Structure formats: C-alpha cells, structure tokens
Amino acid sequence: MNNVCKICNQSFSETAGLHKHIKAHDLRIIEYYQTQYPRYDMQSGEIIRFKNKDQYFSTDFNSRENLKKWIESKPEPEVRNYIKELLINRKNKKSAQYSFCQVELRSLLMPPIQTYDKYFGNYYRFCESLGFKNKYQPLGGPIISKEIIGKIHIDTREQKPLSFPGRYTEVKTLNFGDYTFSDKKASCECYIERKSISDFIGTLSGGYDRFINEIERSVEAQANLIVLVEEFLSNALNFNDLFYVYQKNTKVTPEYVFHNVRNIIQKYPSVQFLFVKNREEASRVIQKIFTCDCIYKNIDLQLAYDMKAL
C-alpha cells in the first residue's frame, strides 16, 4: 500500500511521514485507517481493531475465538482455501524458510497445527508441498522418559532455582541457559533458559540484543536451547491483561514481544519456545526433556504440550 493521504492526496516516502501528517487533519491514526480503509471481522462483522498498520491489513478477525467460529461454520473447501492462503501469504511476506511452529501460529491469529492436520491430513507434509522446510516431525505419541542416570546442572546466576524431586542437582557456571544435563550425549546438548512471564517480557524487549548474544553462543557450541516460560501461552499472548504483570505506562506490547519471538524461531532452528502452566510444570517438563532420548529435537514442544503429550 502506498503512502498517499486519502484525504488530501499528499504523498510520502515512508509510512512514518504519512502518520505524522494525519494529525494535521485532526485525526488519530486509528480513525484514519478505519474510516478510509474500513475492514471488518469476517465472523462478527465488527470493524477490525487497529493496533498497527501491518496488523490491520493482514488480520481478518478480532479474536482467535472468532476465527475458530468462522472455521467451524464454513464449508470445508472454503476453509481449506482460506487457511492455505494464510500460510502462503505469511511465507511470502516474511520470506519464511521453515514451516511455522505452534507458537508462531498461535501468536499470529492463524489456526493451530491441529486444525491444519484436520483439513490437510498432515501439517508438515502439506507445508513441504508449499515450499517450506520442516524442522519437526508429527507427534508419534506421548513423550516417554527413559531411565537415564545424571545430574541436572543449575547455573550459578539462577536466582530462584527449580526443585527436581528424585534427581540430583549441581550448581555450575553455564555459558548460556539456566539448566542442562550432566550426560550431554543423552540430552543431545540441551540447555534450558527458564523465564517467569516478567523475565520473558523484559528479555524479548529491552534485553533482546543481550539475549541474541546468548543464543549465538549456544549456536556456536552446537547446543539446543529451549526457552521455557512459566505461563500458559494464551496468557502470555495477552500479558498486558494480567494484573500480576501489568506495569503502568509500559510501552511494551505482546505484539512487539512475539514479533521478536517469531524472528528468533525462524532465524535459529536450534531454539524453541515453550510455555507451560507454572513452576511445577516447568520442573516436570525439564526432567522429561532431559531424559526423552533426544526426541525433543524432532518435535514441536509447544504442540506436544498443547496435546498433553509432554
């Protein structure tokens, strides 16, 4: 879309210039787009809520619930065509190399992998037909822990370390991550970066550059890094509505944070993000990941958690 003001036809080289100019018409940016380029929720008929220009023109629904209702109410051929185009358009827009994982899809108001499986049989095979590379394989069933002897190493900087009943632990200095397993062969060089929801928000906003440096160190060491967040993904996607997270006058939004998450996922194949219920779940999942005979490398962990296979 060009940067020409539809009110006075003045053109601008960049969107920022247009947005600054809109104020001269005594309009807010949201008012300008919703009046000059009205777009409506395909399920409810309500005007699309404006968060930013890119979101406004790429979104067809105001909520995941409306998307779900629309899918359930439409004929199969129409749904298949629509959700296929969602993948193609996103792939082309972002020059995406890898098929989108569960965290990416759920953060983009796109159907989850389970829906693609329902309409196309096998999400990964379907993505391959569209030109994607697949990092993961379909779930083959529940993730089973093996009887593997070893200690969980905890980084010296971990201020509130998790407890692991029945498993020995040892505090050590780690070059990246907060937890790793003493038997590196059994865990395939797995490191886990644990985050509270507040830590996650700070790391993926103001601490982003520093975190990228940490990821680069893990890549150089040929390690697999899992960012484990102690919060349901649905809550994390709306963290500004959580009373225990909200900070007055904060300018950080879920859209900004998850934009950075998606960039990392596409750029670094050895990094996964996983959102779980709480600290107790984080402890349980860490032990299972370390002792699953490296299966974690080949599956989408968030999908496995959503499907109660992890």
What is the mean pLDDT for each group of 10 consecutive residues in the chain (310 residues)? Answer: 90 94 94 96 97 91 97 98 97 96 96 98 98 96 92 95 94 97 95 96 95 98 98 94 70 92 98 97 97 96 98
- CATH fold of the domain at 152-306: Rossmann fold (3.40.50)
Strands of 224-229's sheet, edge to edge? 169-172, 152-155, 179-181, 190-195, 224-229, 271-275
What is the C-alpha R_g of the chain?
22
Residue 22 pLDDT: 95
User: What is the CA angle 294-300-302, rounded to 5?
Assistant: 115
- In total, the chain counts a number of residues equal to 310
Residue 293 pLDDT: 94
Cα distance between the two ends of the chain: 44
Strands 190-195 and 224-229: parallel
Q: Where do the domains of the chain lie? A: 1-38, 74-129, 152-306
Instruction: Show the tokens assigned to 197.
Output: 């929801």
Residue 107 to residue 257: CA distance in whole angstroms: 10
Residue 243 pLDDT: 78
Residue 246 pLDDT: 62
Nearest to 221 by CA among 183, 190, 248, 251: 190
Amino acid making up residue 142: P
Residue 217 pLDDT: 97
Residues 150 and 185: beta-carbon distance below 8 Å: no
Contacts of 201 (CB under 8 A, 6+ apart): 239, 245, 252, 257
DSSP state of 50: P
Which DSSP helix (H) or strand (E) runs through 113?
helix 113-120
pTM of the full predicted structure?
0.93
Phi, psi of 25 (to 5 degrees): -90, 10
Instruction: Show the tokens assigned to 24.
Output: 């001269």
